[in-house]
Amino acid sequence: MEEVDKILIHSLRLSGTDIPDEVQSIREFTTELIVEAVVRCLRVINPSVGGNLSHILPPGMSARFRIGMSLAQACQDLGYQGEVGYQTFLYSSEPEIRRLLLFLVEKLPRDASEDADQPVGKSTALHRAIAATIKEQLAVPWVPPSCRTPRLQLLQGSCLLKQFEARPLVLPLESGPSTGKVARERKDYFVKFLPPVSAQLPRPASFAPSLLENNVADLSEAQDWENEWKSQGLGSRMSPEEYRQWKHQRLQRRLLDQLRQACPQAGSAPQGATARDLTQFLGTFSAGQEPTGALAKGSRFTHTQRLAYKQEAEPPTQIQTLPVSRTSEQELQERQAAEVKALENELGRLVGQIEELAGQMATLGLTLTQVEGEVRQRQLGATELEQTLRVKGQTVQLLPDAENNMAKLQVVVESSAQRIIQLAAQWEKHRVPLIQEFRELKALHDSKELESSRRLSEIRELHERIRSTADEAKRKDDLYKQLVLEMESLPKDVSRSAYTQRILEIVSNISKQKEEITKILSDTKELQKEINSLTGKLDRTFAVTDELVFKDAKRDESVRKAYKYLAALHESCSQLIQTIEDTGTILREIRDLEEQIESETSKKTLSNLERILGDYRALKQENATLLSRTRET
């Protein structure tokens, strides 16, 4: 029991019970310590129940009885099958308290004493780390702001807290998004001109948030690419680089189509336009550039407007160059306001003209597109008419000599028919092996398709197995790190090998005891069999001897005396055997009584009786005090 008590005391200390170091067994537990241990265990098992109970035993007897009844009811609610009441805690016995504490320790959550083989998730490890950090911070006493060290200022102050603000970062790339290669100019930029990450941010406080945001974006992009590749890329029968390049080209084509639809003028561009056409097309939308081509020439009206604008723009320049000494500040402000108003009016007029010209250009573009479509349709119609006219012209040329031409045409038709028949026969000769080869190739293609599908499914299963194995390895790594932390947090004076050796010794002692008990039981069975056989043999021998001696006793007096002595000897032996059996029974009863006496002694019946009498006197005194107070009131 000593080893059991040590393990039980260690578990109670882990649950938060303050057990002194000198207490080494349950026999040394006091009433206050028992109540504290039970309440601590109940708080860990069920905080809603244990949180309402006090682990400190009050001095009043009535309050003690109420706490004892509450603890007994809580233990019964947990499923304790043994007999429990207020006397279990106030007038406890060692076996009852040991059984109750063992029950409560077994009911403790597995997080409090988790096995080494039990897997622990990331959330559990995170919760434990958070709980350890909060416990460490709560253990630090509060210090006034003027007396705080930098570490306490970090823990208890709020001035060092910064807002989570992430900014975009430019990082060197090892490969391009589509082709996988980085241009030499970009590499030179990364090496010579790209500033470090810390210099790209306006404030140092946004350094860590920006890195975290960039890392999350990279991880999300990698996960999206992995999911897309496994769902669509593998089925495309392309390599990852080819698939990326195909996606890039498809995106480029979509941009070109949308830009052509947005601007009808771009629809007249050649259909085979590529990235070069996109660059040229985007150049037409560049703002702030001088017009080129036909628009650069302009008309007499536009030249007149430009000259007028230049002439109107020249006086403000001349006004600005006037000396400041000739004009007062008020006149200068009024002049500037007038100039600003005139420029705003001119800007509004120009914007209106630009919008009007843009509308006219869009209308002309639509009209041009429609006209080009009509021209194409008319050209197609003219081509068809030319072919029809050519056929009719040849027919008209053949009309003067119609009979000869009909005969020649008949000969040509017959020769064409014979040639078609010959070609059909030749084609039939070639078609049969071609059809056979086609069927063989189709069967081979189907088998390869099935093989590729099977391998594709195997690849997907392999990917899933790799992912599950990686998750399992990561989970075991987390478990290993957590167990290492728990091992480091355990007290260093406790030797695991000593506990293991002691447990092995206990197991070996139990095995030896089992072997000895089995040996004793087998010896007892053998002795019982031997006794039974000897008793039967004795009874049979006595019966035979009695019969023989009784026959001779009728004729001889000496034999008659011998028969009497034989009967007396048999009776004495029977009484002796009965006396031995009674002695064994009495010895067993004595041992049972001694065990009962020892168990009753371990229950501290006398001390509990004295405590009950003392509590009874205290309760009577409390009742008398309360009665006197009620009479006084």
Three-state secondary structure call for residue 81: coil
Residue 633 makes CB contacts below 8 A (sequence gap 6+) with none
The confidence score (pLDDT) of residue 268 equals 45
CB half-sphere exposure, 626, CA atoms < 13 A: 8
- 10 Å Cβ neighbour count for 41? 27
d(CA 492, CA 28): 26
Take residue 468 and report the two structure tokens written for it: 């599950």
What are the φ and ψ backbone dihedral angles of 567, each rounded to 5 degrees? -65, -40
Rg (CA), the chain: 55
Question: Can you give the pTM of this predicted structure?
Answer: 0.33
Residue type, 47: P
Three-state secondary structure call for residue 176: coil
d(CA 615, CA 613): 5
Q: For 46-111, where are the alpha helices, taking DSSP H only?
A: 47-50, 61-78, 86-90, 94-107
Positive or negative, the CA dihedral 587, 593, 595, 597 is: negative
- Per the CB < 8 A criterion, the answer to whether 11 and 110 are in contact is no
CA distances from 287 to 44, 188, 284, 302, 329 (A): 72, 30, 9, 19, 38
d(CA 181, CA 267): 33
Q: Tokens 């008990």 identify what position?
A: 517
What are the φ and ψ backbone dihedral angles of 56, each rounded to 5 degrees? -105, 125
The confidence score (pLDDT) of residue 602 equals 67
Out of 1.10.418, 2.60.40, 3.40.50, 3.30.750, the CATH code matching 2-113 is 1.10.418
Take residue 470 and report the two structure tokens written for it: 């990686």
- Per the CB < 8 A criterion, the answer to whether 61 and 89 are in contact is no
List, run by run, the mean pLDDT of 10-residue segments along the chain (633 residues): 76 82 83 87 81 77 82 86 81 82 82 42 70 78 75 65 79 65 79 84 84 89 85 78 84 80 53 49 43 40 45 41 53 84 86 85 84 88 88 78 80 88 89 89 89 86 88 88 78 65 82 90 89 85 82 77 83 87 89 82 71 80 83 79
Q: For 490-556, where are the alpha helices, taking DSSP H only?
A: 496-553
Closest CA to 101 of 223, 245, 5: 5
Of how many residues is the chain composed? 633
Take residue 354 and report the two structure tokens written for it: 């630009």
Three-state secondary structure call for residue 19: coil
d(CA 56, CA 35): 7
DSSP 34-58: HHHHHHHHHHHH-HHHHTTS-SSPP
CA distances from 201 to 165, 205, 471 (A): 11, 9, 36
The angle at the Cα of 41, spanning 40 to 43, to the nearest 5 degrees, equals 65
The confidence score (pLDDT) of residue 116 equals 40
The DSSP symbol for 162 reads -
- 10 Å Cβ neighbour count for 266? 20
What are the φ and ψ backbone dihedral angles of 23, each rounded to 5 degrees? -80, 120
The confidence score (pLDDT) of residue 517 equals 92
